[in-house]
Chains A and B, each alone.
Chain A
Amino acid sequence: MTTSPGHPATGPATGVARDDSEGMDYLMSLPRRTVTVYLPLLCFLIVLLFPFYWMGLTSVKPNEELIDRSLNPWWVVDPTIAHYFHLIVNTDYPLWMWNTMVVAVSATLLSIVASVMAAYAIVRIRYSGSRWVGGMIFMAYLVPPSILFIPLALVVFQYGLFDSPMALILTYPTILIPFSTWLLMGYFKSIPYELEECALIDGASRWQILTRIVLPLSVPGIISAGIFAFTLCWNEFIYALVFISSSENKTVPVAVLSELVEGDIYHWGPLMAGALLGSVPVCIVYSFFVEHYVSSMTGAVKE
């Protein structure tokens, strides 16, 4: 142990060191902790948060400051909300947000419902080839969207869905269902068999078992699948770019790029304001469910 009694940083820590965390003793002195914990954390934070800082900074810089190279680029002298104002009043931004929301929520719901049923059937219902089906679904996940969008475009055209939100609502599940199904399969597997057998004897049908036993126990798993699906829909770019052409049907990621860039003129202020506002809903979703998200990635059903 490297601690010395009375050291301010180790005062409460010596008590901790006596329990089962002895392998972490080297973290107990402040200088060591600085080097091994805080410094790497700081580096991570800077790398992760810098784009957001830059985005926020640019969105509040007046145009003069944006083009004036003599000023400090890391700071803003005279912040303005003009870009936000322009974005909300002079463009269709609220409509784009609405489109994105409708598409993301619908596609997510659709995918989760399909994934829950697929995963439950694969994991719990005995039929020949269930493993095989599970494997195939995962293989589907490995096909990159950038290849899939060409055949999908043909399908979208033939069903007459081009340039409508349905084009996205119905194609996003092709990316979402495989992953969600796999995530939920893992989660369903962690629910003890006996619970379902007991419910079966208690007189529940398959459907009742799913809705009254399995789903309530899988809430964390469903939430993390939902967050994953929602985030992916929200940020999706290539399908939205290809399948939507009119401005009033566009989603935020595509609209910000195509409507706020005129030729070679980048309206950096509104562009960044749009990007920042666009990431707010995802942040809100995450902040509400982060605990469920983590627990479903790390733990299982505990009786």
Chain B
Amino acid sequence: MAEVRIRGVRKSFGNVEVIHGVDVDISDGEFVVLVGPSGCGKSTLLRMIAGLERITDGEVMIGGRVVNQMPPKERDVAMVFQNYALYPHMKVYDNMAFSMKLRGAEKSEVDQRVQKAADILGLTPFLERYPRQLSGGQRQRVAMGRAIVRDPQVFLFDEPLSNLDAKLRVQMRTEIKELHQRLKTTSVYVTHDQIEAMTMADRIVVMHDGIVEQAGEPLDLYDNPTNTFVAGFIGSPAMNFVRGTVRANGGPARLEAKDGVALPLGDGWSGQDGRSVVYGIRPEHLVLAEAGQRSVESEIAVVEPTGAETLLVSRVAGGEFQAVFRERHAFRPGTRVQLAPLLDKVHLFDAETGQRL
């Protein structure tokens, strides 16, 4: 096990720089998720840790050693690929034993390690099968087994669940998390799915356009996003945004948006009077207004009940507002509803920079 330090790492393909100086510290035994939309550079960063891509500038350290010039096999990392990358011509056992055999390990040791890994992952009955004879979930497990057998310093996961169906994905998510809690191996996990990131990570690193937007614990990112990108990316359904100007004189603090719509703000924001901002409120922080509560009127567009909760899509100030209710209400599209934002849950971001105020 080891810590991973990424210091000012840059990556260019030809003249195009895709990663513009990234710093991430991953402590020993930590499960860190790199998340971001496609093309944000998260997979490239992972491949640079693995040694599959050359590092243009900066340093990657694993367990205190700078690994920039080291070939992958000397870095002592194991990687699980999106399409599993199982060797089709080898049985499950041989797939798992391959790396040990390459290192010239004793047959008895190989056998013992493979059996142990197979045991952990419930693969014992499948050791004599070929990958093509396995289901998607089983293949995924073999890919992880192959990583476990090596007992590496770092596990690298490159979107390992995106080829599975929704139900299996949830199941495997739990399995990977359990596995990590059991093995406590430092893990770097790449995904574009923020739910995966939220549920699995000790710490999330949100990337966008080749830079780190924010890194932190999942709930911290959720509660205190540093900018509109993170605020919009983390959380599902996504945060509602409205552009407008803060007004504090002639009444309580509020946001004046398009069409004269006013959204209530806490008194703490009075000092920002006249500033152009983006107003952000999460769907679950909108409630039905009680008499006398400061609220905003909206027109219901769509009602999406999921059983556990109901998603309400309504129109406010020329945009859409999503609100989530755990209680059941008789909403009807086309009618109007008064939504009250919880004032202490409102986020304000600078309209120009998108940074949190």
Residues of A within 8 A of B (CB): 192, 194-195, 197-204, 208, 212-213, 216-217, 301-303
Known: A201-B51, A217-B89. A303 touches B131 (CB 8 A): yes
Task: State how many angstroms separate the Cβ of B49 from the closest Cβ of chain A.
Answer: 11
When distances are taken between beta carbons in the complex, the residues of chain B under 8 Å from A216 are 89
- Determine if B182 is an interface residue (Cβ-Cβ < 8 Å): no
5 closest A-B pairs (Cβ-Cβ)?
A202-B99, A203-B73, A194-B85, A198-B85, A201-B72
Known: A192-B83, A202-B98. A303 touches B52 (CB 8 A): no
Tell me what chain A mostly uses at the interface: helix, strand, loop, or mixed. Answer: helix
Q: Are A202 and B81 in contact (CB under 8 A)?
A: no
Q: Are B102 and A195 in contact (CB under 8 A)?
A: no
- Determine if B300 is an interface residue (Cβ-Cβ < 8 Å): no
When distances are taken between beta carbons in the complex, the residues of chain A under 8 Å from B132 are 302-303
Q: Are A199 and B52 in contact (CB under 8 A)?
A: no
- The chain A residue sitting closest to B90, CB to CB, is A216
- Determine if B77 is an interface residue (Cβ-Cβ < 8 Å): yes
- Determine if B88 is an interface residue (Cβ-Cβ < 8 Å): yes
When distances are taken between beta carbons in the complex, the residues of chain A under 8 Å from B72 are 197, 200-201
Task: State how many angstroms separate the Cβ of A203 from the closest Cβ of chain B.
Answer: 4
Q: Are B102 and A192 in contact (CB under 8 A)?
A: no
Q: Are A201 and B103 in contact (CB under 8 A)?
A: no
Q: Are B103 and A198 in contact (CB under 8 A)?
A: no
Q: Are A202 and B102 in contact (CB under 8 A)?
A: yes
Known: A195-B85, A213-B87. A200 touches B102 (CB 8 A): no
- Determine if B50 is an interface residue (Cβ-Cβ < 8 Å): yes
State in angstroms the CA–CA spacing of A203 and B102 once bound together.
Answer: 7
24 A-B residue pairs with CB within 8 Å: A192-B83, A194-B81, A194-B83, A197-B50, A197-B52, A197-B79, A198-B79, A198-B85, A200-B71, A200-B73, A201-B50, A201-B72, A201-B73, A201-B77, A202-B73, A202-B98, A202-B146, A203-B99, A203-B102, A204-B73, A301-B88, A302-B88, A303-B84, A303-B88
State in angstroms the CA–CA spacing of A200 and B53 once bound together.
Answer: 12
- The chain B residue sitting closest to A196, CB to CB, is B85
Known: A201-B72, A202-B98. A217 touches B77 (CB 8 A): no
- Determine if B86 is an interface residue (Cβ-Cβ < 8 Å): yes
- The chain B residue sitting closest to A200, CB to CB, is B72
Q: CB within 8 Å of A: which of B285-317?
A: none
Q: Are A197 and B85 in contact (CB under 8 A)?
A: yes
When distances are taken between beta carbons in the complex, the residues of chain A under 8 Å from B52 are 197, 200-201
Q: Type the 1/0 row for B153-191, where 1 means its CB is closer than 8 Å to any CB of A.
A: 000000000000000000000000000000000000000
State in angstroms the CA–CA spacing of A272 and B131 once bound together.
Answer: 51
State in angstroms the CA–CA spacing of A197 and B131 once bound together.
Answer: 18
Q: Are A192 and B85 in contact (CB under 8 A)?
A: yes
When distances are taken between beta carbons in the complex, the residues of chain B under 8 Å from A197 are 50, 52, 72, 79, 81, 85
- The chain A residue sitting closest to B47, CB to CB, is A197
Known contacts A198-B146, A201-B79; can you find 17 more A-B pairs with CB under 8 A? A194-B82, A195-B85, A197-B79, A197-B81, A197-B85, A198-B85, A199-B87, A200-B51, A201-B77, A201-B78, A202-B102, A202-B146, A203-B73, A203-B99, A203-B103, A212-B98, A303-B86
Task: State how many angstroms separate the Cβ of B76 from the closest Cβ of chain A.
Answer: 9
Q: Type the 1/0 row for B200-212, where 1 means its CB is closer than 8 Å to any CB of A.
A: 0000000000000
Among B84, B87, B103, chain A packs the most CB atoms within 10 A around the CB of B87
Task: State how many angstroms separate the Cβ of A65 from the closest Cβ of chain B.
Answer: 55
When distances are taken between beta carbons in the complex, the residues of chain A under 8 Å from B77 are 201
When distances are taken between beta carbons in the complex, the residues of chain A under 8 Å from B99 are 202-203
When distances are taken between beta carbons in the complex, the residues of chain A under 8 Å from B84 are 303
State in angstroms the CA–CA spacing of A257 and B227 once bound together.
Answer: 85
- The chain A residue sitting closest to B103, CB to CB, is A203
When distances are taken between beta carbons in the complex, the residues of chain B under 8 Å from A194 are 81-83, 85
State in angstroms the CA–CA spacing of A258 and B87 once bound together.
Answer: 52
Q: CB within 8 Å of A: which of B133-161?
A: 146, 150
Task: State how many angstroms separate the Cβ of B27 from the closest Cβ of chain A.
Answer: 22
When distances are taken between beta carbons in the complex, the residues of chain B under 8 Å from A198 are 79, 81, 85, 87, 146
Q: Type the 1/0 row for B234-251, where 1 means its CB is closer than 8 Å to any CB of A.
A: 000000000000000000
- The chain B residue sitting closest to A194, CB to CB, is B85
Known: A302-B88, A303-B132. A208 touches B83 (CB 8 A): no
- The chain B residue sitting closest to A191, CB to CB, is B88
When distances are taken between beta carbons in the complex, the residues of chain A under 8 Å from B150 are 202
Known: A203-B99, A203-B102, A208-B102. A195 touches B87 (CB 8 A): yes
- The chain A residue sitting closest to B77, CB to CB, is A201
When distances are taken between beta carbons in the complex, the residues of chain A under 8 Å from B83 are 192, 194, 303
Q: Are B98 and A217 in contact (CB under 8 A)?
A: no
When distances are taken between beta carbons in the complex, the residues of chain B under 8 Å from A213 are 87
State in angstroms the CA–CA spacing of A199 and B98 once bound together.
Answer: 8
- The chain B residue sitting closest to A213, CB to CB, is B87
Task: State how many angstroms separate the Cβ of B201 from the closest Cβ of chain A.
Answer: 23
State in angstroms the CA–CA spacing of A301 and B132 once bound together.
Answer: 11
When distances are taken between beta carbons in the complex, the residues of chain B under 8 Å from A217 are 88-89
State in angstroms the CA–CA spacing of A194 and B86 once bound together.
Answer: 9
